[in-house]
Structures are given as C-alpha cells and as structure tokens.
Structure 1
C-alpha cells in the first residue's frame, strides 16, 4: 500500500457501520428496521415510513452495482492532495436493487466515451490505509 496523501473520512457514530463495511470490501447502507427503506447519508428518522416516535435502523449490504444518474467533472482541485488528479469525475450512482438510494462517489474511469446517463457501474474498493477503505466506482 502506497502512502495516501489526500484527506480521509473520519467516521462518526452514524457513519461508522458504513466505513466498517467498506473495510471488509462490502457496500452497506443504513436501513429502516420498520419498512426497509435505505438512506445515505444516515438519517435520524425514516423518509419511507416517517416513524419519528421509535425510529430504528441497522446497516445492510447491497449489491454493489448501479447506474450513473448524474455526474460532474472537476477541473479545479481546491483541496490539498487532489491537485494532480484533475480532471476527475464525481458521479451520483443509483443502485439496481435499491430504488431511491443514491451515492456520490469518484468514477475511476474518468472522462470518456462510456460516461453517459444510465451507464452501468460497479464498486471498486481502494484500501488507502490500514483503517480506511474508499468505495469508488468504475464503468461495468
């Protein structure tokens, strides 16, 4: 593993299960125990059943394949550590088996002919340190 010189996520109480799953090379999102609605980032009450009295959540793994629903090409690295990466693609991914769940991530393929709305993608995990693994996506 080479030294990773970019900022890394700092898990908190709400996001720790997501990052623990990523370290295992799994994609897991918060899921309502009442109605099964997935959410990311984690929420305090469910957007599906709107249970605010007794909200209850766990994290569940999903099939790590989806489709691009939007993207942006970043040309100006405003954060130290990313200067050599420009331009890169940050894509919004929807998942085939979890309608309504989206996740924003870096597309490692960059700008190319395959970059289009609805393009199929799959997760690729990058271990950047002993404690941090990043879920990235590539065109499938």
Structure 2
C-alpha cells in the first residue's frame, strides 16, 4: 500500500464504532434501541422518538444503497494532497433503509452524464493506509440513468 498523503479521520469515542465497521468494509450507524431510528453523526438523544430520559443506542448495519440528493464538483484542491484529484465529486446521499439518514462522501465515478439527482448509488470502501478505510460512493450497477 502506498503512502496516503491526505488527511485521515481521527475517531473519537462516539465515532469509533463507525470507523471500526468501515475497516471491515461494513456500513454501520448509531441506532436507537427504542424506535430503531438511525443517526449520523452520533447523537445524545434520538431525533425519532425524542427519548431524553433513557437514551440508548448501538451501532447497526445499514444497507449501503441510496440515492443522490445533491452534489458539489470540487474544482480547487484547497487542501494539500488533493491536487491530482481535481475535479472530484462530493455527494450527499440518502439511504434506502431510512431516507432521512444522509451522508456525504466522494463519488468515485466523478463527473459524467450518469450524475443526476436521484441516481442510485452504493457505498464502497477504500483502504487508504494501514488501519484507515474511507467510505466512498459509486453509481449503482444497472442505474436507469445509463449502463454501469
């Protein structure tokens, strides 16, 4: 594995389970033990059932498929290490399991004619250095917006 020259996430106590799952190439978000609502980033009380008296959560697997809600084409690296990636696409995605659950990440397919609002995507994982795996999106195979 080559040296990764870009910033990497630094997990804290609240986000460590998310990053541990990513290292296993799994998508897992915080989930309320009372009503089953997923949250990301992690929360201290559930936005679904609003249980503030006895909040209780665990990290649970989420279907990695969703749809593009919006995106930004990055045309300026702004941060050292990203110069060779310009232009790249950063997408906001809602997940099929819970449409109110959103996540932003790089779309590895880049700019192209298949990049459309509502385009189906799936999360995949990119091992960038020893112990660091980043979640990224790719356009789903069989997309109605073109062949994949």
What's the TM-score, normalizing by structure 1? Answer: 0.97
Q: Does 1:28 align with 2:28?
A: yes
Tell me the residue number matched to 1:72.
72
CA distance in 2 between counterparts of 1:80 and 1:53 reads 45
What's the TM-score, normalizing by structure 2? Answer: 0.92
CA distance in 2 between counterparts of 1:41 and 1:68 reads 18
Matching of residues 94-105 of structure 1 within 5 Å: 94-105=94-105
Number of residues of Structure 1 aligned to a counterpart in Structure 2: 140
C-alpha displacement of 1:93: 0.8
Deviation sequence 1:67-122 (CA, Å, 0-9, x none) = 10111111111111111111110000111122211110100011000000000111
CA distance in 2 between counterparts of 1:55 and 1:61 reads 19
C-alpha displacement of 1:12: 0.3
**The residue matched to 2:84 in structure 1 has which SS?**
helix
Tell me the residue number matched to 2:58.
58
Runs of 4+ that moved beyond 2 A: none
Tell me the residue number matched to 1:111.
111
Q: Does 1:86 align with 2:91?
A: no
Tell me the residue number matched to 1:15.
15
- CA RMSD in angstroms comes to 0.8
Unaligned runs of 5+ in 2: 141-148
